[in-house]
Amino acid sequence: MDLIKRWAGLLAVAAGCTVSASAAPLLNEGFNDIGTLAASGWVFVNNSSPPGSTAWFQGVPTVFPAAAGAADSYIAANLNNATFGGAISNWLLTPQLALSNGESLNFSLRLLGEGFLDTVEVYLSTNGASTSLGGFHLLAGFDSATDTGWLDHSLLVGGLTAPATGRFAFRYVVDDTSVNGDYIGIDNVSVNAAAIPTPGTVALIVLGLCGLAGVSRQRKPVSWLAFSGLALMGTTVQALPEDGVMTLPHVNVVTRQAAPQPAAGRDVSGLKAYKDPATGKLGNPTPEQSAALDAAIRASAAGPKARAAAPRMIHPPHGGVGMVLDNSQTPYSVVPPAQGEQK
């Protein structure tokens, strides 16, 4: 057991080395000053029709503060990206980046809405430094007509046949500024590379797996038998018989039979009482009344019965499963009054 713990510790260290090897992000932007973005490779493209009085601008703290850092340290856009009644299509392109499967684009997004639909779409292009918008492919879209607050999002790159270079892009889009569009903010944009183990880490992981395999071979056969039993039990649990009661290897299911009902033609014995319809008092029936009661009870037993309640499952506190069938059925009969009695 101690040896297994040692190997597990080595594997944990190897995993840590793998993560730390890709800790440095490919891109990390907090938008403290959007005036410096162009020099860093960011590209602004306002394709709104017709263009309005604003494009991308520094966040306005009086509308809402940044997700982190200084109150104005985010990038924003609003309905004035197009003239009133126009359509907004305002693009923000990241610098050119090395792209590979497993990378993640992370960002914080807030849509103000205030009753007007705001939409932000996220795109990816694998065409190197190209800024041609036709080469971008939609990854995700976010929209809201109410204030979302700051929400963190993460998109994973996948499906690339080979490593490439390209850009991510954010697009603020509104179909008609006379009825939609308000104000949006983007903050904390980062791109993290996929974790790629170093040769030393790979060797350590392989060595650890070999060590664990060697220790496993030294275990007693009964351990494998126990694992086989667990697997078999897992298979048995999924089998449901026709009666609807699941059978488990370690649980006894008890079914109780319903009490037999009186058969037709059988003499019915037991306490009988006759209720006087005039006074409401109970008394011993006359022979004629007793015979009428017996006949009525036999007819009730032979006739159709009410549908019994469905069985219910019980779970005793000590474990196990039981089934209880509803066997309560009390026949009542109305006996006509004897001749001369008041109805």
Phi, psi of 272 (to 5 degrees): -125, 145
Which of 76, 94, 92 shows the shortest CA–CA distance to 184? Answer: 76
Q: Cβ neighbours of residue 198 under 8 Å, at least 6 residues apart? A: 17, 18, 21
Read off the tokens for 163: 């490593």
Count Cα atoms within 13 angstroms, Cβ side, for 32. Answer: 4
For 275-296, write each residue's pLDDT tens digit: 777 776 777 777 777 777 777 6
Determine the Cα–Cα distance for residues 215 and 206; give it in Å rounded to an integer.
14
Average pLDDT, stretch 41-54? 97
Determine the Cα–Cα distance for residues 331 and 141; give it in Å rounded to an integer.
68
Domains of the chain in start order, with CATH, are: 23-192 (2.60.120.200), 239-343 (no CATH)
Q: Is the dihedral of CA 129, 131, 135, 141 positive or negative?
A: positive
Which of 260, 270, 256, 90 shows the shortest CA–CA distance to 184? Answer: 90
- Element containing residue 9 per DSSP (H, E): helix 2-20
For 229-275, write each residue's pLDDT tens digit: 433 333 333 333 333 333 333 333 333 333 444 444 444 455 667 67
Cis peptide before 50 (omega within 30 of 0): yes
- Please tell me what DSSP assigns to residue 3: H
Please tell me whether the overall predicted TM-score, pTM, comes out greater than 0.75 for this model: no
For 179-192, write each residue's pLDDT tens digit: 999 999 999 999 99
Judged by average pLDDT, the poorest of 38-52, 194-208, 250-264, 317-331 is: 250-264
For 304-330, write each residue's pLDDT tens digit: 444 444 444 444 444 444 444 444 444
For 73-131, write each residue's pLDDT tens digit: 999 999 999 999 999 999 999 999 999 999 999 999 999 999 999 999 999 999 999 99
Average pLDDT, stretch 3-10? 55
Instruction: Give the per-residue pLDDT at 218.
Output: 52
